[in-house]
Amino acid sequence: AKPRVAVTRSPLAASVDLGAAVQAAAIEGSKDAEDVMDMSLEMVDIDALDTGRYHAMVIQDPNDKRNIQGFFYMYVGFSKMGHSRGLPGLYYERPSAFPNLMEFLNQRTDIRAKFAGHLFFSDDEIMKAPFLYTSVDAHRPGPFEITISEAENLHSYMQRGGFWFVEDAWPEMGGVSDRTARRMIIDAFNAGGMSKGRDWEYQDIPKSHPINHCYYDFDDGPPTGLDVFMRTPHVPYPIRMVEIDGRVWCIMSNKDYEDIWSQQCWDNSDPTRQYMFGVNLIVFSLTQEGGITHRLMASVQY
């Protein structure tokens, strides 16, 4: 390797010849990575790639799941149609939730993280975001639908390696917010000609799944959210995923972790476990084989 080679903002990182080729390794993703990393982490200066062109870059030691370094910019995605209608509560966003989660990620890992704001589903910029979060509280304004172009863009996003985490912010499976969130997901898959029941289906995330173990270990599965307060009896809802060919495309949650990340816990309980699971979601999205960041790192040369 030839360190300290000057890199300007203009050329693509993949076009800069700095010597030894580097490929990312997924931590035990849903499917084991075929392009296993063979390198020393000390030889890589990940900061050289943080030019604003990319939303995330990570390098991970395949022998130590917590030895991961890089940068990550988090975005919340939402519908331009719903935004223009000005429906209160449509996107149930707690302003402090994501800065809090990014601060926890910065403190507990070697990933430099920042909440970068919002992206419309129709924005092509989402194609660079390895992790896209959306929460919906349609309890008061009522259900809504995303546009055809938004659905098409979301399908392309997931198909190209995106990881879409959708939450019901009024945790009530079968309720208005739950139905609205699931309708968005179905519309996105339909836009790509993929039908629920034929081409894809929700499945509970098993306890052994890498999402539960990629950084922190959750041997009993995902931690509880506000679902335990909203549901009678107080039994948590499962988190469900859409996994196609060994890669997780989308997750549907009725946990409302956003409220807990904002430290608006109804019983003032410690939110540490929910923050830790947020870290797992992000690390998994950055490292699973076929994900946006994994594909990008596999093309980068140093």
Share above pLDDT 70 across residues of the chain, in percent, rounded to a whole number: 74
* pLDDT over threshold 90, residue 157: yes
pLDDT of residue 212: 97
pLDDT of residue 67: 93
**Peptide bond just before 233 cis, omega within 30 deg:** yes
How far, in Å, are 29, 52, 99, 154, 188 from residue 58 at the CA level?
15, 15, 20, 24, 28
For residues 240 and 28, what is the distance between their CA atoms, to the nearest angstrom? 19
Is the pLDDT higher at 150 or at 95?
150
Is the pLDDT higher at 261 or at 143?
261
Structure-token pair, residue 31: 């499917």
For residues 223 and 209, what is the distance between their CA atoms, to the nearest angstrom? 14
* pLDDT over threshold 70, residue 106: yes
For residues 181 and 204, what is the distance between their CA atoms, to the nearest angstrom? 17
Q: Average pLDDT for residues 97-110, to the nearest whole number?
A: 96
List pLDDT tens digits, range 204-255: 999 999 999 999 999 999 999 888 776 655 678 889 999 999 999 999 999 9
pLDDT of residue 17: 34
pLDDT of residue 28: 44
pLDDT of residue 234: 67
pLDDT of residue 15: 37
pLDDT of residue 242: 98
Find the range with the poorest average confidence among 66-75, 186-195, 203-212, 293-302. Answer: 293-302
Share above pLDDT 90 across residues of the chain, in percent, rounded to a whole number: 53
* pLDDT over threshold 90, residue 151: yes
Q: Average pLDDT for residues 287-294, to the nearest whole number?
A: 94
Average predicted confidence (pLDDT) for the chain: 81
Side-chain-facing half-sphere of 228: CA atoms under 13 Å = 12
Find the range with the poorest average confidence among 45-59, 86-100, 156-170, 203-217. Answer: 86-100
pLDDT of residue 10: 36
Highest averaged pLDDT of the listed ranges 5-19, 117-131, 230-244, 263-277: 117-131
Find the range with the poorest average confidence among 24-38, 83-97, 225-239. Answer: 24-38
pLDDT of residue 50: 83
* pLDDT over threshold 90, residue 114: yes
List pLDDT tens digits, range 166-214: 999 888 888 888 998 999 999 999 999 999 999 999 999 999 999 999 9
Structure-token pair, residue 226: 């506000």
pLDDT of residue 91: 58
* pLDDT over threshold 50, residue 35: no
For residues 114 and 73, what is the distance between their CA atoms, to the nearest angstrom? 5
Q: At what angle do helices 176-191 and 148-159 cross, to 10 degrees?
A: 70
Closest CA to 102 of 128, 76, 122, 123: 76
Q: Give the pTM.
A: 0.83
Q: Average pLDDT for residues 123-130, to the nearest whole number?
A: 95
74-104 exposure pattern, b = at least 16 Cβ within 10 A, e = fewer: bbbbbbebbeeeebeebbbbbeebbbbbbeb
